[in-house]
Each structure stands twice: as C-alpha cells, then as structure tokens.
Amino acid sequence: MINIMEFGAVGDGVTLNTESIQAAVDRASETREAVMIPCGVFITGTVNLKGASLYLESGAVLKGSENLDDYPEQDYIHNELGALRAMLIIRDCDHVTIEGSGTIDFSGRAFYDTSARNVPDSRVPFNDEQISECTYPIGQRPNECLFFHNSQNIVVRGIKIIDAPCWTISFHECENIKVIGLTIDTDLNMPNNDGMHFCSCKGVIVSDCNISSGDDCIAISGITNWEKPCENIVITNCILRSCSKAIVIGYIYSCVRNVAISNCIIKESNRGLCIMCNDESSLVENVRVTNMIIDTVIRAGNWWGNGEPIFMMAVKHDYHIAANQHPEYKTDCAIRNVCIDGVSCTGENAIGIIGQNGNIREVELKNINYVRKPSKNLSLKGETFDFSPGRVDVDIPRSCGIYVSRDADAELKQINTHEWSVITDQSPFSGIS
C-alpha cells in the first residue's frame, strides 16, 4: 500500500496536497497497489485515480479544497450539470475500491452563501421557520464530487462522506457496483447535493447505508445516456432522510428496469419513494418494493415533492431539456409491472399514482398501512401533488389517503388508510398550466 505522505502530502488541514496525492496515485496505477490516506486532514483538488484503489484509515480526512480553481473543468459534459468538476475521478477503469473507516469531506459550504435563502413564490407568505428550511442560492461549485464513468467492478465501502456541494457520488454507464456500509451526511439546505446517482448503470447493490441529504438520497436514471437502460438494481437495509426524494426511480427519458428495494427506513423526507416518467420515450418496469417504513414531512423551499410517501407520475416533464436530447426509442407505456408490498406509511400528503392515456399498467399496492398526519407547510404548495418539473395540477381532497387517476391500471389489496379515503376513477388533471 502506498502512503501519500511518502510523496510529500501534509495532513495539517492547510497545505494543498493535490500534486502529492496525484503522484502517489500515478505510482499506484503502475504497481496496482492501493493508495493510503493516513490519519490527518489532507486538502486536495481534483485527483484522477487512474484505476488505483483508495484506503482511508481511521482518523483520515480527505478534504476538498475551498477554491473552485482547484477543480478544473474536464472533457465530460453532463446533460444537466454541464462540464464536470470533481474531486475524485475514475474513468474507463475497472476493479477500483474506495474503502476504510476515514472520511471524505467535500467542503460544500465553502461554495455557498449560507446566510442567504432562495425563497420560492408561494400561495402564502413564508414565516421565519419556513425561510430557514429553504435552499441556499446556487452558484459555481464542483458538481459531481466522486465521479465514476464507464468502469466495472467497483466497490465503495465503509467510509463516511460529508458536505457535498452538489452530487455526492455518481456512477455513469458503469457495471457491477457495490456500495456498502456508507454514511453520507450533507447540508439539508443545499440544493442538488444528492447522495448517490446511478445513471445508465448495470448491476448495482446498495446495502447498509445511512444517508441524510438535502436532495435525493438514491437516484436511478438514464440521465447520462437516455438510450442506455439503468437496470438490475438492489437497494436494501438502508436508512434514508431527504429534503426531496429519498428514493427516485426514473426521470424524463430514462429507461429503468429490474429494481428490488427492501428493508429500508425512510424518515423525515419531503417525499418517500418516487417513480417518475415522461409521458413518452420513457419507461420504468419490473420493480419490487417490500418491507419498508416511510415517513414524510413537507419541507419549505424549492424541493421537489409535497409530502407524498409513495408517488408515481407518468406525465410530461421534459420542458427544460434540449430538443436534441430526445431519444429515438418509443415505449407503449411509461410504468409497468410494479409491486409495492408491506409498507407502513405516515405522511403529510396522500399516496398518488397519476398517469395519462393508459401509460401506467400492472401496478399493485398491497399490505399498505397509511396514516396521514397534520402539516404546517402543506399550505405553501396547496392540497396537491408536486409534479416538478412538470406542469400538471391535481387537487387532492384533504380527506384523501390514496389517489389513483383514471388512466392508471393499479390494483389495491389489503390497504388500511384508517379514516382517510381512497379515491380512484377520477379525471387525472384538474388543470395543466
């Protein structure tokens, strides 16, 4: 194992060690040894791991520089985030492991004015407590902090990751990924600091993770390459908290299939489990969700979601995507073959399944226990579901526990909503703006 201090790295929390760490990585990529981050606080900018593995020993902190210039733009362009600025880059490399009992600190707060809040337009004025829940204004920042692309046989295990300014870990067009035993803790006012993104990947296991993030905890999509499915995903034994969506499957033109989620607790999240598809050229299929506890609480600010414990939407939401990104493939429906079985929900809004033109098929909810609780923030968006970034409005009666639109083929079995009603066979839209 190669110790970065042998190449001049200094763990004083002040010295910039990018060159020293890169030199250790370059050597390790030749010898196929792992690079060790010893006890100490080691400041760094962008490092390309070049296929080398990384081990963080107990007491080690790999801390991101607070200077944006230390993260030069790369030649990778993301469909929404633009040119890549990352701290750790793994591209076109196989058999990379990042593990240990140390910490990666991405120094996210350094890239925001944390004294300011981005307060959205609202039906009612925000009070001081609600303003405190809103996001920091977005500026320039590293955007995909731990970045994997076109790589296979990846393991990320045991470490703690904190304070990401944007996406914490992202996997793009990778295969055979194991993410085990991670703790991810990011600022709950920071927009886009998602825990994990799996984009157009194949063969993913996420287990035994504890994630608290301002934005999505775990996202599964095809945003890197709309033409390439994200498939064969297992998520189990995790505890999740999000100011947006704890787990989200699909997005705009994504094709996602074969997803199994079990034994997870979602707590204090703006939305629990979400499946979201565009109304065309998009597909989520073959999803099994079992043995879950979901609790939602509506958070003020520009977060997607409005307190829905479980939400499926198959409506147009590609307005902000360039026309040249529209994929060639067509689908005859958007969501199909989804079973959610054995879920206990408490939430500040109803469960929703909303489609159009018959584009949701073969959905089954069974053994669902739902309790609706009072909300201090429901009045901000109103008694409706949140279809962001779509432009659909649906009025949800306050007495509703589960709402299924007329255009959704959903079967409900052994549902206990207590005193809250189940509303089906309704027109899916009260208005489209």
Pairing of strands 47-48, 88-91: parallel
Res. 409 pLDDT band, cuts 50 70 90 = very high
Burial group, residue 29, by CB count within 10 angstroms (0-12, 13-18, 19+): middle
The pLDDT value recorded for residue 429 is: 44
Whether the pLDDT of residue 156 is over 90: the answer is yes
In tens, the pLDDT along 320-361 reads 888 888 888 888 899 999 999 999 999 999 999 999 899 999
Whether the pLDDT of residue 252 is over 50: the answer is yes
Whether the pLDDT of residue 432 is over 50: the answer is no
What is the model's pTM?
A: 0.96
The structure tokens 């990947």 sit at: 201
H or E element in which residue 379 lies: helix 378-381
The pLDDT value recorded for residue 329 is: 81
In tens, the pLDDT along 291-329 reads 999 999 999 999 999 999 999 999 999 988 888 888 888
Average pLDDT value for the chain: 95
Which residue in 308, 400, 391 sits closest to 345, CA to CA? Answer: 308
The pLDDT value recorded for residue 320 is: 86
The pLDDT value recorded for residue 331 is: 87
In tens, the pLDDT along 204-235 reads 999 999 999 999 999 999 998 999 999 999 99
Structural contact between residues 364 and 414, judged by C-beta atoms closer than 8 angstroms: no
Q: In a 3-state reduction of DSSP, which class is residue 154? A: strand
Whether the pLDDT of residue 130 is over 60: the answer is yes
Q: Residue range 25-43: average pLDDT?
A: 96
Pairing of strands 88-91, 60-64: unpaired
Q: Residue range 155-177: average pLDDT?
A: 98
Res. 155 pLDDT band, cuts 50 70 90 = very high
Q: Residue range 93-109: average pLDDT?
A: 98
Q: What is the spatial distance between Cα 181 and Cα 264, in angstroms, rounded to a whole number?
A: 13
The pLDDT value recorded for residue 425 is: 60
Q: What is the spatial distance between Cα 37 and Cα 43, in angstroms, rounded to a whole number?
A: 11
Q: Residue range 101-118: average pLDDT?
A: 97
Which residue in 17, 102, 9 sits closest to 60, CA to CA? Answer: 102
Percent of the chain with pLDDT over 70: 98
Sheet holding 218-221, edge to edge: 47-48, 88-91, 144-149, 167-172, 196-199, 218-221, 245-249, 271-277, 310-314, 351-354, 400-405, 421-426
Which residue in 391, 221, 227, 202 sits closest to 325, CA to CA? Answer: 227
The pLDDT value recorded for residue 378 is: 94
Residues in the chain: 433
Q: Residue range 396-405: average pLDDT?
A: 92
Res. 430 pLDDT band, cuts 50 70 90 = very low
- The CB density around residue 120, as the number of other CB atoms within 10 Å, is 13
Whether the pLDDT of residue 129 is over 80: the answer is yes
Q: What is the spatial distance between Cα 108 and Cα 115, in angstroms, rounded to a whole number?
A: 14
Q: What is the spatial distance between Cα 126 and Cα 57, in angstroms, rounded to a whole number?
A: 45
